[in-house]
Homo-oligomer: A and B are copies of this chain.
Amino acid sequence: YPGSFGAPPPAQDPMWGYFTAIAGQDGEVDAEELQRCLTQSGFSGTYTPFSLETCRIMIAMLDRDMTGKMGFNEFKELFMALNGWKQNFMTYDQDRSGTVEPHEMQQAIGAMGYRVSPQALNAIVKRYSKGGRIFFDDYVACCVKLRALTDSFKRRDTVQQGSIMLQYDDFILCTMAI
């Protein structure tokens, strides 16, 4: 199709109708709409539904223009990522208790390709634990945050040196919204 650059126009995408129904009048999905959609679609299965806080983090991850809302492409991108994390979580949660162990989460983060020190891994896992275990909602919130922060870092680390120069305002901008 001319002008489509290989991607089908939204109207032909099977998810387009679903998206527009959720997005409503403004044509974009905010945190409350996302929470409703994830709850009603039964995405979490037997796991506790996502908190509004986690949904806000999900949107912040993809929300480059900082409107607090997601367009169609971000919406699809989010669902792909969520499916991956859910698969991953279920691999570790073999007894379907709804939680994984700290060492399993550390393994999972490593398996996703993040190179973080044992100290950072430890701090992360502690932050997202409740009573020494990690619930699905917190697991996803952690994955979202880690991905968003790593993306922010990489965008600034143009020469791929593993370290960046950050101004205070930029630091606040890329960390406070997540």
Q: Give A contacts to B, CB under 8 Å.
A: 32, 51-53, 56, 60, 66-68, 114-117, 119-120, 122-124, 126-127, 129-131, 142, 145-146, 149-150, 153, 157, 162-169, 171-173, 175-178
Are B162 and A167 in contact (CB-based, < 8 A)? yes
Which residues of B sit under 8 angstroms from A149, Cβ to Cβ?
171-172, 175-176
How far is B167's CA from A119's CA once the two chains are assembled, in angstroms? 14
Are A146 and B176 in contact (CB-based, < 8 A)? yes
> Which residue of the partner chain, among B52, B172, B178, contacts A150 with CB atoms under 8 Å?
B172
Are A119 and B173 in contact (CB-based, < 8 A)? yes
Are B171 and A127 in contact (CB-based, < 8 A)? no
How far is B170's CA from A115's CA once the two chains are assembled, in angstroms? 12
Are B177 and A175 in contact (CB-based, < 8 A)? no
Are B145 and A171 in contact (CB-based, < 8 A)? no
Are A176 and B145 in contact (CB-based, < 8 A)? yes
Are A163 and B167 in contact (CB-based, < 8 A)? yes
How far is B56's CA from A145's CA once the two chains are assembled, in angstroms? 15
Are A163 and B165 in contact (CB-based, < 8 A)? yes
Name the residue of chain B whose CB is nearest to the CB of A167: B163
Which residues of B sit under 8 angstroms from A68, Cβ to Cβ?
126-127, 129
